């Protein structure tokens, strides 16, 4: 044993090793399959990453876990290699994500089931958006095509909106935390926006993974501002849009849901005014018809009265005619004028003659 060799205490050795590791490998990215996944004391997460020939321990605190992990999933971890004071070498995980289609889907399904069990997707939780909001908050990357589409459509469809945009990353490891901060920022304003819109254009499953992050999903669920999330294309479903109050298929669709089409409103306003014109014409027609009917009814009543009176008149005429002395004479009777006493002269009138006669004899009946 050489005397001039550096002698270190165990603690010094561990510290020196960690310094060397920090210098040589400040962070490493390691891909492997998860095994022996464990959560201890509700606080610490440990698992091993393995491949065909080797295995390495990984460690993180529970609140760093962005989505449920299971043995068998393939993960990419970004970590600091450390030798701890008990002599165990491990990777202190800074960030991690499933890799490969199967693992991404597995992670998505596990988190979806977890959030679903908590009732976070239930329809009863969904709030409606105001029909015409005036203050809107948007969380997105202002450099994205999705944001440009969103602005184009809202400007075409509506005006007078006050829109505040929080520029964040929408993919990659930092994206979920940035979006969470933006959501919290808008929720902390004295005057809350009426709608919180989160948008991102299309991309691969891995690009959209930021929207399947558990803390982000929970931040959306906790938002005091009603949320509208449009991520990717029609076929893409992320946990962020499933948990939102309203899901839009795309950023363009989010703009269409957010504001009405001014041209439709203008058309509808003119149609409503025109419909009042039709109702007015109809009301005038109805009034005219009713007045005509009333006049006709009055005329009919007058006619009936007249007919009744004419009928009575005819009856009276007939009765009067029957009393006419001429008619009596025509029936063969005669009027006799003068005193009927013997020796007197009387006048006898028939229908066509007047005769004078002397009374020769009078006999009492």
Partner 1 sequence: MSEQNKSVQEKLSQLSELVTWFQGPEFKLEAAFDKFKQAETLAEEIEKDLTKLKNDIKVVKKKFDSES
Q: Does the protein bind partner 1 through residue 174 (CB under 8 A)?
A: yes
- Strand residue runs (E) in 201-328: 227-231, 246-248
Residue 121 makes contact with partner 1 by CB under 8 A: no
What is the C-alpha separation between 75 and 32, in angstroms, rounded?
6
Task: Return all residues near 335 (Cβ < 8 A) that are at least 6 apart.
Answer: 325, 329, 348, 349
Interface positions, 285-304, toward partner 1 (CB under 8 A): 287
Number of residues that bind partner 1 (CB under 8 A): 40
Interacting stretch for partner 1, rule CB under 8 A, among 30-38, 117-125, 131-139, 212-220? 131-139
**Rounded distance between C-alpha atoms, residue 109 and residue 118, angstroms:** 14
x/- track of binding to partner 1 for residues 302-331 (CB under 8 A): ------------------------------
CB of 261 to partner 1, least distance (A): 10
Q: Which of 45, 75, 182, 219: binder of partner 1 (CB under 8 A)?
A: 182
349: which DSSP letter? E
- Residue from 167, 172, 328, 349 touching partner 1 (CB under 8 A): that is 167
3-state secondary structure of 233: coil
The span of 46-54, 56-64, 167-175, 240-248 binding partner 1 (CB under 8 A) equals 167-175
Contact with partner 1 (CB under 8 A): which of 31, 113, 145, 284?
284
Three-state DSSP class for residue 350: coil
Number of H helices, E strands in the chain: 9, 13
Minimum CB–partner distance for residue 275 and partner 1 (Å): 7
213-244 as b/e: b if 16+ CB within 10 A: bbbbbbbbbebebbbbbbbbeeebbbbbbbbb
Least distance (Å) from partner 1 to the CB of residue 314? 45
Radius of gyration of the chain (CA): 54
Residues 218-277 that bind partner 1 (CB under 8 A): 262, 265-266, 269-270, 272-273, 275-277
Piece of 12-20, 154-162, 218-226, 295-303 that binds partner 1 (CB under 8 A): 154-162
Angstrom distance (rounded) from CA 207 to CA 1: 56
3-state secondary structure of 48: strand
SS (HEC) of 49-110: EECCCCEEEEEEEHHHCCCCCCCCCEEEEEEEEEECCCCCEEEEEEEEEECCHHHHHHHHHH
Query: In terms of CB distance, is 37 or 158 closer to partner 1?
Result: 158
Total length of the chain: 365
Q: From the list 12, 51, 101, 164, which residue makes contact with partner 1 (rule: CB under 8 A)?
A: 164
Alpha carbon of residue 285 to chain centroid: 39
Instruction: Give the nearest distance from C-beta 253 to partner 1 in angstroms.
Output: 18
Measured between alpha carbons, how far is 213 from 176 in angstroms, rounded to an integer? 7
Contact pick of 19, 29, 64, 162 for partner 1 (by CB under 8 A)? 162
Instruction: Select the span of 9-17, 30-38, 158-166, 235-243 touching partner 1 (CB under 8 A).
Output: 158-166
Q: Which residues bind partner 1 (CB under 8 A)?
A: 132, 134-135, 142, 151, 154-155, 158-169, 174, 178-179, 181-182, 185, 262, 265-266, 269-270, 272-273, 275-277, 279-280, 283-284, 287
């Amino acid at each position: 044993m050489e005397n001039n060799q550096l002698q270190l205490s165990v603690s010094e050795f561990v510290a020196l090793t960690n310094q060397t590791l920090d210098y040589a490998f400040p962070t490493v990215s390691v891909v492997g399959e998860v095994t022996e996944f464990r959560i201890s004391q509700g606080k610490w997460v440990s698992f091993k990453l393995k491949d065909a020939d080797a295995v390495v321990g990984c460690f993180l605190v529970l609140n760093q876990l962005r989505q449920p992990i299971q043995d068998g999933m393939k993960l990419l971890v970004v970590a600091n290699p450390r030798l701890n004071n008990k002599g165990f070498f491990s990777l202190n995980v800074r960030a991690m994500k499933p890799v490969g289609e199967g693992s991404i889907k597995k992670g998505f399904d596990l988190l979806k089931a977890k959030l679903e069990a908590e009732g976070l997707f239930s329809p009863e939780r969904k709030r409606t958006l105001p029909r015409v909001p005036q203050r809107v908050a948007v969380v997105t990357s202002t450099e994205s095509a999705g944001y440009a589409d969103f602005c184009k459509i809202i400007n075409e469809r509506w005006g007078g909106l006050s829109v505040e945009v929080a520029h964040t990353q929408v993919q990659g490891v930092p994206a979920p935390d940035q979006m969470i901060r933006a959501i919290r920022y808008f929720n902390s304003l004295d005057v809350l926006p009426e709608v919180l819109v989160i948008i991102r254009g299309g991309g691969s499953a891995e690009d959209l993974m930021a929207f399947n992050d558990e803390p982000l999903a929970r931040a959306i669920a906790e938002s005091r501002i009603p949320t509208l999330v449009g991520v990717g294309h029609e076929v893409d479903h992320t946990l962020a849009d499933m948990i939102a109050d309203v899901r839009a298929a795309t950023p363009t669709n989010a703009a269409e849901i957010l504001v009405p089409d001014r041209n439709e409103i203008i058309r509808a306003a003119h149609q409503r005014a025109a419909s009042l014109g039709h109702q007015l014409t109809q009301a005038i027609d109805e009034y005219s018809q009713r007045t005509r009917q009333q006049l006709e009814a009055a005329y009919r009543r007058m006619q009936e009265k007249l007919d009744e009176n004419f009928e009575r008149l005819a009856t009276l005429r007939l009765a009067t005619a029957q009393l006419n002395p001429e008619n009596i004479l025509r029936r063969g009777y005669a009027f006799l004028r003068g005193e009927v006493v013997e020796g007197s002269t009387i006048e006898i009138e028939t229908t066509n003659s007047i005769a004078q006669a002397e009374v020769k004899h009078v006999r009492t009946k």
